[in-house]
Amino acid sequence: MLEQWEADHLLRMPKTYSGSLTVDLEQGADDDYQLESDDGTRYFVLDVRRSRRNPRKARFNSVTGGKSC
């Protein structure tokens, strides 16, 4: 489990997309996008989910890990 300062650091860390793409926020979107830190030491997965029943509702999650070899 992360300490609070570690979580705060990861949230503030600048992130860039691993490729050039457009994030789909349309109703019913269900996609994952690869992100990485500016210095390339961390990678993240941005998980985007949009409800079909309630179009005003969206969920964004980010998972982090070390740089894969």
Q: Domain extents for the chain?
A: 4-66
Q: CA angle, corner 47, sides to 56 and 33, nearest 5?
A: 120
Contact 32, 47 (CB under 8 A): yes
| pTM score over 0.85 | no
Q: What is the pLDDT of residue 48?
A: 82
Q: What is the pLDDT of residue 46?
A: 82
- As a whole number of angstroms, the distance between CA 27 and CA 38 comes to 30
- 8 membership: H or E segment, kind and range: helix 4-12
Q: What is the pLDDT of residues 4-46, one digit of tens each?
A: 999 888 888 898 886 667 777 778 788 888 888 888 888 888 8
